Amino acid sequence: MDQRELLKIAVKAADDKRAEDIVALNMKGISLIADYFIICHGNSDKQVQAIAREIKEKAEENQYTVRRMEGFDEARWVLLDLGDVVAHVFHRDDRIYYNLERLWGDAPLEDIRSVINS
């Protein structure tokens, strides 16, 4: 499987746990860290943890390695390093504060509607 498939798996997992305002940024040629960033948020600590846990579990079920997960206990900004895909799961207030979409504003958005609407 490739990074595009991993992106779909992670987006679907986030959507399954009712993550809000899911955005996927194409970071190819912009960042050396990953090819894609997923940014989403939950409205409570428990929801943030549920979203992060689901992304991790679905990635592992599909034989992808979760290299690192940080911030899970605090549940304000959970970062999941899936290799070519990095997922940022925020608590709503922290997403507004850090505003990664503006920070990486030159990165094109990936069309993920088909994944979310399936």
Write out pLDDT tens, residues 45-78.
999 999 999 999 999 999 999 999 999 999 999 9
Supply the pTM of this predicted model.
0.93
pLDDT at residue 1, as a whole number: 57
Domain boundaries, the chain: 3-116
**Does 3.90.1150.10 match the CATH number of domain 3-116?**
no
Per-residue H/E/C for the chain:
CCHHHHHHHHHHHHHHCCCEEEEEEECCCCCCCCCEEEEEEECCHHHHHHHHHHHHHHHHHCCCCCCEEECCCCCCEEEEECCCEEEEEEEHHHHHHHCHHHHCCCCCECCCHHHHCC
Q: Give pLDDT tens digits along the chain (118 positions).
A: 588 999 999 999 999 999 999 999 999 988 888 999 999 999 999 999 999 999 999 999 999 999 999 999 999 999 999 999 999 999 999 999 999 988 888 899 998 887 777 6
